[in-house]
Amino acid sequence: MNATDQVARSEELYRIYRAHLDTCPRRHIGILADCAEGARMLRAVHASRLAASRGR
């Protein structure tokens, strides 16, 4: 996967995460966050952005 694909992938993951925030009634921010699915998705966004910034 090249860097452009990585960026597109991270943007897609972020769109999916934002769509989840719009539909999920749980908390996602701060110490009261209680949505394991949302936390998992956010970790995936961060990991893909890190991979994209490294260019691989």
Contact positions vs Zn ion (CB under 5 A)? 24, 26, 35, 38
Query: Nearest distance from residue 34's CB to Zn ion, in Å?
Result: 8
Residue 21's nearest CA partner among 50, 5, 1, 45 is 45
The residue (of 7 and 21) whose beta carbon lies closer to Zn ion is: 21
Query: Nearest distance from residue 18's CB to Zn ion, in Å?
Result: 11
Q: Report helix, strand or coil for 34.
A: coil
Query: Nearest distance from residue 38's CB to Zn ion, in Å?
Result: 3
Residue 17's nearest CA partner among 47, 49, 48, 39 is 39
